Structure formats: C-alpha cells, structure tokens
C-alpha cells in the first residue's frame, strides 16, 4: 500500500489515518484535504472523465454512475407471497443513488424479489435531480435516498374481479 504519490501534475499523500491530501503540481497552496469517502468520489469521477476523453462518443453510457436515478417497475406477486391474495400487481417507485443504470436495475430487482414480488418490466428509468421534485410530495423519497442510497415505494392494486 502506498502512502504517497507524486508526479509533476499532482501530489497525494496520507498524513494521518483519516485524511488524504491532494495538491496540484506547481502550486504553492496547501491543496485540499479529503475524507476517505471524498477521495473515492474524486477517483470515480476522474476514472469516468478519463473514459469519456479516451472513448468519446464510443463510451458506453452504462459504464457511468448516475448521481440519482428514478425507476418505475411493474411487478406481480409471487404465488406463495403474502401479497398474492390481496394484490393483482404493483408499481414500484425506486430512487437509487450513485449507481450505473444496469446496477440500479439489479438493485431494484433484488429488492422486489426479496419483498415477494416478481419483476415483470421496467416502465421508466431516468436521471433525476432534487429540483425535479420541488413542491412535489415525492421530494421526501428523493431526500431519503440521498441519505440511505435507495428508497423503494410499492403502490399495489387489487386483483381483477
């Protein structure tokens, strides 16, 4: 494990166990101090930017994390689940933070299955921002996903008669 990296463009080092120091080469300031979480976020962003620069238009958008995305999934109850007698199906609203599009769908499918539902289809998947929910009752779900990394809201409907 390295504790210092230095080249003409950037210098990084760990001065104590909880802070990563980052300084641009040729500057006379103290640089920035990053928590481990901030350092990982910067490294992810640098990797994604370098891929975009290298591959340009050929870069696969599924390689990149989306800061926050919303998915709406149609699901039906598993026959043996508690939902089967009372529900004909459900629409599951999902807010998922900092995942690629395929990973977000994988996470949502896992939640749906664990809750006794069978994934049928993806109705919608799109990036969202907090501003998209200003004045909307769903803002609380967005805000909670910022904290918990994901929120799932299941809207059920009765079986057909």
85-111: pLDDT as tens digits:
999 999 999 999 999 999 999 999 999
Q: Residues 95, 123: one domain?
A: yes
**Would you call 107 exposed, middle or buried from its count of C-beta atoms within 10 A (0-12, 13-18, 19+)?**
middle
Q: Residues 101, 149: one domain?
A: yes
Phi (first) and psi of residue 25, to 5 degrees: -65, 145
Task: Reduce the DSSP state of residue 19 to 3 states and report it.
Answer: strand
Q: In this predicted structure, what is the pLDDT of residue 117? A: 97
Mean pLDDT of the chain: 88
Q: Residues 88, 115: one domain?
A: yes
Q: In this predicted structure, what is the pLDDT of residue 2? A: 53
Domain with 44 in it: 4-58
Q: Residues 135, 71: one domain?
A: yes
Q: Would you place residue 52 in the very low, low, confident or very high pLDDT band (cuts 50, 70, 90)?
A: confident
Q: Residues 73, 126: one domain?
A: yes
Q: Residues 15, 74: one domain?
A: no
Q: Is the dihedral of CA 37, 43, 44, 45 positive or negative?
A: positive
Q: Residues 90, 40: one domain?
A: no
Q: Would you place residue 76 in the very low, low, confident or very high pLDDT band (cuts 50, 70, 90)?
A: very high
Q: How far is CA 53 from CA 24, 44, 46, 48, 67, in A?
A: 20, 14, 10, 9, 20
57 pLDDT exceeds 80? no
Q: Residues 116, 149: one domain?
A: yes
Q: How many structural domains is the chain composed of?
A: 2
Q: Residues 76, 47: one domain?
A: no
Q: Residues 16, 73: one domain?
A: no
148 pLDDT exceeds 90? yes
Mean pLDDT check: name the lowest of 44-53, 59-68, 83-92, 144-153. 44-53
Q: In this predicted structure, what is the pLDDT of residue 18? A: 78
Q: Residues 150, 90: one domain?
A: yes
């Amino acid at each position: 494990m390295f504790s210092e990296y230095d080249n003409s463009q950037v210098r990084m080092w760990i001065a104590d166990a909880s802070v990563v120091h980052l300084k641009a080469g040729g500057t006379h300031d103290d640089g920035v101090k990053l928590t481990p979480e901030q350092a990982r976020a910067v490294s992810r962003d640098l990797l994604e930017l370098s891929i975009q620069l290298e591959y340009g238009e050929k870069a696969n958008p599924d390689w990149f994390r989306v800061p926050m995305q919303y998915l709406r999934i149609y699901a039906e109850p598993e026959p043996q689940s508690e939902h089967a007698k009372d529900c004909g199906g459900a629409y599951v609203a999902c807010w998922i933070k900092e995942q690629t599009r395929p990973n977000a769908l994988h996470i949502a499918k896992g939640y749906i299955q664990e809750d006794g539902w069978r994934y049928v289809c993806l109705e919608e998947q799109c990036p969202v921002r907090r501003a998209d929910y200003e004045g909307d009752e769903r803002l609380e779900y967005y805000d909670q996903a910022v904290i918990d990394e994901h929120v799932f809201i299941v809207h059920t409907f009765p079986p057909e008669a």
